């Protein structure tokens, strides 16, 4: 009888479903970008809607995940109830934990959705939760990025750490030999109550931003390679980085310029992320390797991280750009997705349809504190939030004078920004810097179907174009439209004559839209009246070259000539080019060659010298360590899931 009972109980036990198991390895990571291996087993009747959530801090409520992955798109063995995935993690000043949920068809709620209107997964049925994953102590700060101060012999370095204890930067001409050159970093941070709108000031979007450190390396010799580390003896030092100092006497300028890049994540989240940003950084890093020890800088003209109130996306962004931003100065200007919110102080009647909720309630605060650009421009927010900074400024780099402006704050005549632009442009010494390049986020000219921004463009044409024309601005670069478009030299929508055939000519600005660095939403071109879904054909005469190609632009200038080239992300090659002489004359792309893009003159010796080994060395320079980082961050799950579920990944009109 006892034997029968034993077999009976053993039979019952064998029929009881096993509890799902979720494990992680390793439990401690050394730095941001390192991967954790996640394994699960014992899931009964697996479903395509079973999903894995990422949580930081570990005690976050179920609905406050950082991101998520569907098990069915993460592992080929998911139908067995078991599988695994490796994910790179970014340090968020807290540990991570992972949870698996069952989400049923009947519980799909299209009213609770992400930015693309894909339903967000439900958290009603928790199946398993992992142990925590943390990061090693003493590894030094992260998110290191450089910037020019505008003063000779200086370089700013900023970084993030988990506490406000004193950190320093130590630097010198020889690696590991700091020769007493140490600068103490200033420290600050922003709080949840500084945010002014949802989701930035709600628990779903807010995370601890860490402590932001800002130090200036001074006494630098011009054009010299310096090595540096940031951190402290008690908290640890970063790995050694290097940069080439600003050389005021240089007769050459090299820069990489783009807008609207954003960042990529290895998971799905509330806000659309930008996988193409990986390629942009990869090719720029190739170019930097090819340049060697030549000074250069990066210019990102608005729509920086596309965090839009989900604060961890700023951490993902700085983790993405650190390989380049810790080598060369990374300069920015403000865009709508850093700033705009309903109660912003400057919102005239004509701009009611323009300035909306694009900033996700950040109100310019993370942008203002995570960067520190030259000058002291600021505007009060009218709220508890600190004043918005980094709005307009300028600096010289070799033979080029660079000017940055804000299209999100007042630029009309009588404003402090207009006064700055007027004084700055009128004060340029054209013997010293024969070229002037102005940059801002929203374009003055575009043939994109941007009807919502039309009132703003009218104000820019009325108030700013006369300044640009009268002060012989050579090049005006804009973002916001997620395409590349180059115009003829323009004044009031009219192409100027280049005088290449003995005609009279006037030096006019060349406008170029360069918002193609990552954001994947592509607006339509100006439509045909009789075919509203097709672009005007032929394209307007003033638009000489336009493309949907992702990429960035490369600027090279001597005192005689400035060359701006479009580099495409699909192959790393030049796809368009314009050359401007110090006189203001445009060698290609003007009226006198009938707008033929093919009329590109021979690339100058400086370009050939600086990039001489691109062809034979490009493939070699696709970077061992960085490739590993890149591969971990490439995620096509959004499109796969949308296809499997029949959901449409909408490309909204939000810029």
Q: Match 């090049």 to its residue by tokens.
A: 475
The answer to whether residue 654 scores a pLDDT higher than 80 is no
Give how far Cα 373 sits from Cα of 169, 198, 258, 308, 411, Å.
19, 27, 17, 21, 19
Phi then psi dihedrals of residue 304, to 5 deg: -80, -70
Per-residue pLDDT, 440: 98
What is residue 506's predicted lDDT score, i.e. its pLDDT? 84
Rg (CA), the chain: 26
Residue corresponding to tokens 């916001």: 480
**pLDDT tens digits along 537-593:** 788 999 999 999 999 999 999 999 999 999 999 999 999 999 999 999 998 754 444
Distance CA 170, CA 242 (A): 11
In order of 360, 363, 424, 458, the CA distances from 342 in angstroms are: 10, 10, 31, 22
- What would the two tokens of residue 97 be? 């934990």
CA-CA-CA-CA dihedral for 568, 572, 575, 578, to nearest 10: 100
* DSSP secondary structure of 406-471: -SSS--STTSHHHHHHHHHHHT--TTT--EEEEEESS-SS--B--GGGHHHHHHHHHHTHHHHHHT
State phi, psi for 645 to the nearest 5 degrees. Answer: -90, -10
Report which of residues 614 and 260 the model is more confident about: 260
What tens digit of pLDDT does each residue of 286-318 get? 999 999 999 999 999 999 999 999 999 999 999
Tell me if residue 285 falls in helix, strand or coil: helix
CA proximity to 517, closest of 564, 475, 568: 568
> What are the strands, taking DSSP E only, across 94-239?
97-102, 125-129, 134-135, 142-147, 155-161, 168-172, 182-184, 186-188, 211-217, 225-232, 236-237
Q: Is the pLDDT of residue 634 over 70?
A: no
Give every CB contact of residue 101 below 8 A, 6+ residues apart in sequence: 50, 51, 53, 62, 121, 122, 123, 124, 125, 126, 127
Kindly indicate the confidence band of residue 642, based on its pLDDT and cuts at 50, 70 and 90.
very low
Is 478 within 8 Å of 441 (Cβ atoms)? yes
Task: Measure the CA–CA gap between 620 and 271, rounded to whole angstroms.
Answer: 35
Q: Residue 11's pLDDT band (boundaries 50, 70, 90)?
A: low
Contacts of 271 (CB under 8 A, 6+ apart): 114, 115, 306, 307, 308, 309, 310, 313, 360
Residue 653: pLDDT band (50, 70, 90) is very low
Exposed, middle or buried by CB within 10 Å (0-12, 13-18, 19+), for 330?
Answer: buried
pTM over 0.85: yes
Give the pLDDT of residue 624. 42
Report all structural domains of the chain as residue ranges with CATH numbers, in order of start. 21-135 (2.60.40.2840), 191-207+248-587 (3.60.21.10)
Is the pLDDT reported for residue 361 higher than 50? yes
- How far is the C-alpha of 179 from the C-alpha of 201, rounded, in Å? 45
Helix (H) or strand (E) holding 210: none
pLDDT for res 645: 34
Contact 283, 267 (CB under 8 A): no
What is the percent of the chain with per-residue pLDDT over 70, rounded to a whole number? 86
pLDDT beyond 80 at 52: yes
* Mean pLDDT score, 149-161: 97
């Amino acid at each position: 009888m006892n034997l029968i009972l034993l077999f009976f109980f053993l039979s019952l036990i064998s029929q009881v479903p096993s509890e799902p198991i979720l494990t992680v390895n390793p439990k401690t990571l050394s730095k941001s970008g390192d991967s954790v291996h996640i394994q699960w087993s014992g899931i009964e009747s697996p479903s395509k809607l079973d999903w894995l959530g990422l949580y930081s801090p570990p005690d976050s409520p179920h609905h406050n995940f950082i991101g998520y992955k569907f098990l069915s798109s993460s592992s080929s063995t998911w139908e067995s109830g078991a599988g695994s995935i490796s994910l790179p993690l970014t340090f968020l000043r807290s540990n991570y934990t992972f949870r698996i949920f069952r989400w049923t068809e009947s519980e799909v709620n299209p009213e609770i959705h992400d930015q693309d209107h894909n339903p967000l997964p439900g958290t009603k049925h928790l199946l398993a939760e992992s142990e925590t994953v943390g990061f090693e102590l003493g590894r030094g700060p992260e998110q290191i990025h450089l910037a020019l101060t505008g003063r000779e012999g200086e370089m700013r370095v900023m970084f993030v750490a988990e506490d406000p204890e004193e950190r320093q930067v130590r630097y010198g001409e020889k690696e590991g030999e700091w020769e007493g050159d140490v600068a103490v970093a200033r420290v600050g941070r922003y709080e949840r109550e500084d945010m002014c709108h949802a989701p930035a000031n709600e628990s779903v979007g807010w995370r601890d931003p860490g402590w932001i450190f800002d130090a200036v390396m001074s006494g630098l010799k011009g054009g010299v390679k310096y090595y540096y580390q940031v951190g402290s003896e008690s908290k640890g030092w970063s790995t050694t980085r290097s940069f080439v100092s600003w050389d005021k006497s240089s007769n050459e300028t090299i820069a990489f310029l783009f807008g609207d890049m954003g960042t990529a994540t290895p998971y799905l989240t509330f806000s659309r992320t930008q996988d193409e940003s990986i390629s942009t950084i990869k090719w720029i890093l190739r170019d930097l390797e090819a340049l060697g020890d030549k000074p250069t800088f990066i210019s990102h003209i608005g729509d920086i991280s596309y965090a839009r109130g989900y604060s961890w996306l700023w951490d993902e962004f700085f983790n993405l750009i650190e390989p380049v931003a810790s080598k060369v100065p990374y300069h920015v200007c403000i865009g709508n997705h850093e700033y705009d919110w309903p109660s912003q102080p400057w919102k005239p009647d004509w701009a009611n349809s323009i300035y909306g909720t694009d900033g996700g309630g950040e109100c310019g605060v993370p942008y203002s504190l995570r960067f520190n650009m030259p000058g002291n421009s600021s505007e009060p927010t009218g709220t508890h939030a600190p004043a918005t900074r980094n709005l307009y400024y300028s600096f010289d780099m070799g033979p080029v004078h660079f000017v940055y402006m804000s299209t999100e704050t007042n630029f009309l005549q009588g404003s402090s920004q207009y006064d700055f632009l007027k004084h700055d442009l009128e004060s340029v010494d054209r013997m010293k810097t024969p070229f002037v390049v102005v940059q801002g986020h929203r374009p003055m000219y575009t043939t994109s179907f941007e009807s919502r921004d039309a009132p703003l463009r009218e104000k820019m044409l009325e108030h700013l174009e006369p300044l640009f024309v009268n002060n012989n601005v050579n090049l005006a670069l804009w973002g916001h439209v997620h395409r590349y478009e180059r115009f003829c030299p323009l004044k009031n929508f009219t192409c100027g004559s280049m005088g290449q055939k003995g005609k009279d000519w006037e030096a006019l600005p060349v406008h170029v839209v360069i918002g193609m660095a990552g954001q994947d939403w592509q607006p339509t071109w100006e439509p045909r009246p009789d075919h509203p879904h097709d672009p005007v054909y032929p394209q307007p005469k003033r638009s000489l070259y336009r493309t949907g190609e992702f990429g960035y632009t490369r600027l090279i200038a001597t005192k005689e000539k400035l060359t701006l080239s479009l580099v495409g992300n699909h192959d790393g090659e030049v796809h368009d080019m314009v050359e401007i002489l110090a006189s203001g004359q445009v060698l290609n792309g003007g009226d006198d060659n009938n707008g033929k893009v093919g009329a590109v003159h021979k690339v100058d010796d400086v370009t050939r010298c600086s990039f001489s080994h691109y062809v034979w060395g490009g493939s070699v320079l696709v970077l061992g360590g960085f490739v590993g980082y890149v591969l971990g961050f490439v995620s096509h799950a959004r499109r796969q899931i949308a296809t499997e579920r029949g959901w449409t990944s909408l490309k909204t009109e939000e810029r």
